[in-house]
């Protein structure tokens, strides 16, 4: 368990006091992938640096497993840091060292013989699929390859925790995907706890088990990724969730009075969203049959989180008003969120 | 060839042994004061870098004192420094004249300049590398030797080249305390006795020296930039 107790960090710059992290309490389970999401300036980078004490919290305790890291002296802290790998947005590789030498950097003074170091580095290179780049210099690598080297270097001392500070933010979408996949594989293969800092909900959706939402230095919401996506509570969380889906586009279409959302009498636009994990029934065809409704899906966005579908559908539903109401009630009982977006129902 | 040279440089050829000796003296001064200044300058440059605000062992008091001392010595013209540090020179070298007498003032004239060059070279390094090294458990000494001094080799070599070339200029002035060297040779014969070919010959040797230093420096930088 990674425990942060009442962690606060304030900076003093030019006479101004900046509270980057305010009274954060977190407990992060080992072996999972945790996402910390927030806009820039939310304090997430500072918070993650409080875990390996690159920033020492002004107040509070940080406990990793059974070690209270905030109580260690400098020398003990350095030893402890070897068990916490970290990767960065700008990779931070040593330009004067080859890929091999970069990965071997943290292995100095580790008591390994030269042969053992070589084997270890080769194993790590294989792990990140960069075997053939061993002798290259960082400047000869692409962004994705650089981040792979950085990951291998961060793993050199067999850490239990891997901190990732916006590690994919400087990469293109495809490379981002492959790096995220690698992090997921490492988590599964090595059982390493991964803490991912990001401002993109897509990253959280892709690999995280749990998510912590930060705003103005505070943790405003946290939970497992599925429930956060299904039932976001805070406004900022909703904004982040919406940013990964195109369902909000319907409001734009309505504002523009687009053809597709112009309703005839007796029709309404409904948004269905999955709220629970077991939404595998054929609900759309069921309501259209049982309640004699026409359901025309105008667009949808359904993805899998873990192995559960999340997202929703926007549909134009037409039929008798009472039948529509019955269908809405039926769906709500089945744990489907229903929101009436535009209403042209007529009571007969 | 020899005939041609002796017709172009008649005065140089009449005192060839002196000419060669002055070249040797220049090399001795360069070698001694250069290597002493290199070591002290790197140490001071590192201390400046690591103790300044945000440095890895921030110590504002040490930084401020060192910073002011360096500024103080940098603002003294070398010819005044030469006379000014004489008591100290006598204490260290046993004499304030000749080649030995020139080394101490040359070091005083070079170190502050070189320390600033080192400070600049180290400041150019991406601070993310320090963060990365710290996250891997490196302490201050490891960061200095395995990160700063390794990653900044091109900058350090560039600073060293510039400093070495300016040091050649300073050795010419050391002639004032009887240290000899090419500069002194050129002034004594070329300027004071109006033997213009001596001046030209000295300049040619100095130009060659500067070119060689610059070439070596550039080659090392090229080899260490990836």
The domain that holds B45 is classified in CATH as 1.10.3720.10
A240, part of any domain: no
The answer to whether the beta carbons of residues A171 and A143 sit under 8 Å apart is yes
Rounded-to-integer distance, Cα B136 and Cα A297, Å: 53
Domain count within chain A = 2
Answer whether B129 sits within 8 Å of A86, measured CB to CB.
no
**Position A150 pLDDT exceeds 90:** yes
User: What are the backbone angles phi and psi of residue A176, rounded to the nearest 5°?
Assistant: -55, -45
A33, part of any domain: yes
CA distances from B23 to A197, B1, B97 (A): 63, 22, 18
Of the candidates A85, A88, A96, which has its C-beta nearest B153's C-beta? A96
Starting from the edge strand earliest in sequence, which strands make up the sheet with A193-198, in order?
A84-88, A161-165, A193-198, A33-37, A210-215, A218-224
B7, part of any domain: no
Q: For residue A82, list chain B residues with Cβ-Cβ distance below 8 A.
A: 136-137
Give the distance from residue B10's alpha carbon to the nearest chain A alpha carbon, in angstroms.
52
DSSP B14: H
Q: Does one domain contain both A170 and A82?
A: yes
A273, part of any domain: yes
Q: Which pLDDT band, with edges at 50, 70 and 90, does B98 fall under?
A: confident
Q: Which pLDDT band, with edges at 50, 70 and 90, does A280 fall under?
A: low
Of the candidates B128, B135, B224, which has its C-beta nearest A96's C-beta? B224
The per-residue pLDDT for A14 is 80
Q: Two tokens at B76?
A: 């003294």
The per-residue pLDDT for A278 is 67
Rounded-to-integer distance, Cα A20 and Cα A9, Å: 6
Q: Which pLDDT band, with edges at 50, 70 and 90, does A347 fall under?
A: low
Q: Residue B96's closest CA among B38, B172, B18, B174?
A: B174
Answer whether B151 sits within 8 Å of A96, measured CB to CB.
yes
Tell whether A85 is within 8 A of chain B (Cβ). Answer: yes
Q: For residue A94, list chain B residues with Cβ-Cβ distance below 8 A.
A: 129, 147, 150-151
Answer whether B132 sits within 8 Å of A88, measured CB to CB.
yes
Q: Which pLDDT band, with edges at 50, 70 and 90, does B187 fall under?
A: confident
The answer to whether the beta carbons of residues A33 and A209 sit under 8 Å apart is yes
Tell whether A95 is within 8 A of chain B (Cβ). Answer: yes
- Taking the model in full, what pTM does it have? 0.86
ipTM over 0.90: no
Answer whether B139 sits within 8 Å of A95, measured CB to CB.
no
Dihedral (Cα; B214, B220, B222, B226), 10-degree rounding: -150
B67, part of any domain: yes
The answer to whether the beta carbons of residues A34 and A77 sit under 8 Å apart is no
Rounded-to-integer distance, Cα A125 and Cα B2, Å: 64
CATH number of domain containing A309 = 3.30.70.260
B10, part of any domain: no
Rounded-to-integer distance, Cα A224 and Cα A245, Å: 18
B15, part of any domain: no
Q: Does one domain contain both A165 and A261?
A: no
Which residues constitute the domain of residue B127? 21-224
Q: Does one domain contain both A81 and A111?
A: yes
B6, part of any domain: no
Q: Count CB-CB contacts under 10 A for residue A233.
A: 13
Domain boundary, last residue among A186, A207, A232:
A232
Tell whether B61 is within 8 A of chain A (Cβ). Answer: no
**Position A62 pLDDT exceeds 80:** yes
Domain boundary, last residue among A232, A264, A291:
A232
**Position B177 pLDDT exceeds 80:** no
Sequence-separated (6 or more) residues with CB below 8 Å from residue B201: B9, B12, B19
Q: Which residue of A has its CA nearest to B150?
A: A96
Which position has the token pair 């130009």?
Answer: B207
Tell whether A158 is within 8 A of chain B (Cβ). Answer: no
The per-residue pLDDT for A41 is 86
A239, part of any domain: no
Q: What is the mean pLDDT of residues A206-231?
A: 92
Which position has the token pair 């687009």?
Answer: A258
Q: Two tokens at A108?
A: 């100095």
Q: For residue A140, list chain B residues with Cβ-Cβ distance below 8 A.
A: 226
B2, part of any domain: no
What are the DSSP E strand ranges found in chain A?
A: 2-13, 16-28, 33-37, 59-64, 67-68, 84-88, 161-165, 193-198, 210-215, 218-224, 267-274, 294-305, 308-318, 336-344
Q: For residue B128, list chain A residues with Cβ-Cβ distance below 8 A.
A: 88, 90, 92
Question: Out of A274-283, A289-298, A335-344, B103-112, which region has the weakest mean confidence (pLDDT)?
Answer: A274-283
Q: Residue A197's closest CA among A39, A29, A90, A310?
A: A39
Give the distance from residue A228's alpha carbon to the nearest chain B alpha carbon, in angstroms.
31
Which residues constitute the domain of residue A274? 249-344
Question: Which B-chain residues 134-173 have CB contacts (< 8 A) with chain A?
Answer: 134-139, 146-147, 150-151, 153
Q: How many CB pairs under 8 A join A and B?
A: 63
Answer whether A88 sits within 8 Å of B153, measured CB to CB.
no
Q: Does one domain contain both A197 and A331?
A: no
Q: Two tokens at B226?
A: 């990836």
A287, part of any domain: yes
Tell whether A94 is within 8 A of chain B (Cβ). Answer: yes
Q: What is the CA radius of gyration of chain B?
A: 21
**Position A348 pLDDT exceeds 60:** no
B142, part of any domain: yes
Question: Which B-chain residues 82-111 have CB contacts (< 8 A) with chain A?
Answer: none
Q: Which residues of A252-277 are buried (b: 16+ CB within 10 A; e: fewer)?
A: ebbeeeeeebebeebbbbbbbbbbeb
Q: Which residues of A134-167 are buried (b: 16+ CB within 10 A; e: fewer)?
A: bebbbeebebbbbbbbbbbbbbbbebbbbbbbbb
The per-residue pLDDT for A341 is 86
What number of helices (H) and strands (E) belong to chain B?
Answer: 13, 0
The per-residue pLDDT for A279 is 63
Q: Does one domain contain both A226 and A256?
A: no
Q: Does one domain contain both A221 and A271?
A: no
Q: Residue A85's closest CA among A134, A138, A154, A33?
A: A154
A167, part of any domain: yes
A25, part of any domain: yes
Q: Does one domain contain both A225 and A309?
A: no
Q: Does one domain contain both A106 and A253?
A: no
Domain count within chain B = 1
Answer whether A81 sits within 8 Å of B132, measured CB to CB.
no
**Position A165 pLDDT exceeds 60:** yes
CATH number of domain containing A173 = 3.40.50.300
What are the DSSP E strand ranges found in A200-293?
A: 210-215, 218-224, 267-274
Q: What is the CA radius of gyration of chain A?
A: 25
DSSP A315: E
Q: Residue B74's closest CA among B31, B39, B119, B29?
A: B119
Of the candidates B129, B137, B150, which has its C-beta nearest A92's C-beta? B129
The per-residue pLDDT for B176 is 66
Most confident of A151-165, A223-237, A298-312: A151-165
Q: What is the mean pLDDT of residues A137-162?
A: 96
Q: Dihedral sign, CA of A21, A26, A29, A35?
A: negative
Q: Which pLDDT band, with edges at 50, 70 and 90, does B186 fall under?
A: confident
Q: For residue B135, list chain A residues with Cβ-Cβ distance below 8 A.
A: 52, 54, 81, 84-86, 154, 163
Q: Does one domain contain both A54 and A131?
A: yes
- Strand bridging mode A2-13 / A16-28: antiparallel
B218, part of any domain: yes
Domain boundary, last residue among A172, A197, A232:
A232
Answer whether A54 sits within 8 Å of B131, measured CB to CB.
yes
DSSP bridge partners of A35 = A196, A211
**Position A166 pLDDT exceeds 80:** yes
Q: How many residues does chain A have?
A: 348
Q: How confident is the model over B50-93, as pLDDT tens digits?
A: 999 999 999 999 999 999 999 999 999 988 888 888 888 899 88
Q: Which pLDDT band, with edges at 50, 70 and 90, does A189 fall under?
A: very high
Q: Does one domain contain both A102 and A211?
A: yes
Q: Residue A182's closest CA among A206, A158, A215, A216?
A: A206
């Amino acid at each position: 368990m990674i425990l942060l107790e009442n962690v606060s960090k304030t900076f003093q710059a030019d006479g101004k006091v900046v509270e980057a992290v305010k009274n954060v309490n977190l407990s992060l389970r080992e072996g999972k992938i945790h996402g910390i999401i927030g806009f820039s300036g939310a304090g997430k980078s500072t918070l993650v640096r409080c875990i390996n004490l690159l920033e020492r919290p002004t107040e509070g305790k940080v406990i990793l497993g059974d070690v209270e890291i905030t109580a260690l002296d400098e020398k003990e802290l350095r030893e402890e840091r070897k068990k916490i790998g970290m990767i960065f947005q700008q990779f931070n590789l040593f330009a004067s060292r080859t890929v091999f030498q970069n990965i071997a950097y943290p292995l100095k003074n580790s008591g390994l013989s030269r042969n053992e170091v070589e084997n270890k580095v080769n194993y790590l290179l294989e792990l990140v699929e960069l075997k053939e780049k061993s002798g290259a210099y960082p400047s000869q690598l692409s962004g994705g390859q650089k981040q792979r080297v950085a990951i291998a270097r961060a793993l050199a001392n067999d850490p239990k925790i891997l901190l990732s500070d916006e590690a994919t933010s400087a990469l293109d979408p495809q490379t981002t995907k492959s790096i995220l996949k690698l992090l997921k594989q490492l988590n599964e293969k090595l059982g390493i706890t991964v803490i991912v800092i990001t401002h993109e909900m897509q990253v959280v959706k892709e690999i995280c088990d749990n998510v912590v939402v930060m705003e103005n230095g505070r943790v405003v919401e946290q939970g497992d990724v599925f429930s956060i996506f299904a039932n976001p509570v805070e406004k900022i969380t909703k904004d982040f969730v919406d940013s990964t889906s195109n369902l909000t586009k319907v409001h734009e279409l309505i504002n523009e009075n687009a053809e597709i959302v112009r309703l005839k009498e007796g029709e309404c636009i409904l948004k269905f969203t999955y709220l629970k994990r077991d939404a595998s029934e054929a609900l759309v065809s069921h309501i259209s049959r049982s309640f004699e409704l026409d359901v025309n899906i105008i667009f949808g966005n359904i993805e899998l989180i873990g192995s559960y579908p999340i997202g929703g559908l926007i549909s134009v539903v037409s039929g008798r008003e009472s039948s529509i109401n019955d269908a809405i009630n039926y769906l709500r009982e089945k744990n489907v969120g229903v929101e009436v977006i535009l209403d042209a129902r007529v009571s007969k | 060839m020899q005939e041609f040279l002796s017709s172009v440089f008649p005065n140089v050829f009449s005192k060839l042994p002196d000419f060669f000796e002055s070249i040797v003296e220049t090399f001795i001064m360069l070698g001694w004061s250069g290597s002493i200044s290199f070591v002290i300058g790197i140490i001071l440059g590192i201390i400046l870098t690591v103790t300044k605000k945000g440095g890895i062992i921030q110590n504002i008091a040490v930084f401020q004192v060192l910073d002011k001392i360096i500024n103080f010595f940098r603002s003294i013209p070398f010819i005044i420094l030469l006379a000014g540090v004489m008591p100290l020179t006598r204490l260290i070298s046993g004499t304030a004249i000749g080649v030995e007498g020139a080394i101490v003032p040359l070091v005083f004239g070079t170190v502050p300049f070189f320390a600033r060059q080192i400070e600049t070279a180290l400041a150019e390094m991406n601070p993310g590398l320090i963060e990365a090294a710290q996250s891997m458990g490196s302490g201050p000494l490891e960061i200095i030797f395995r990160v700063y001094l390794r990653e900044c080799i091109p900058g350090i070599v560039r600073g060293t080249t510039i400093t070495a070339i300016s040091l050649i200029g300073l050795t010419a002035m050391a002639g004032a305390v009887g240290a000899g060297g090419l500069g002194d040779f050129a002034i004594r014969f070329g300027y004071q006795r109006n033997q213009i070919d001596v001046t030209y010959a000295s300049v040619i040797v100095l130009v060659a020296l500067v070119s060689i230093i610059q070439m070596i420096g550039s080659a090392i930088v090229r080899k260490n930039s990836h």
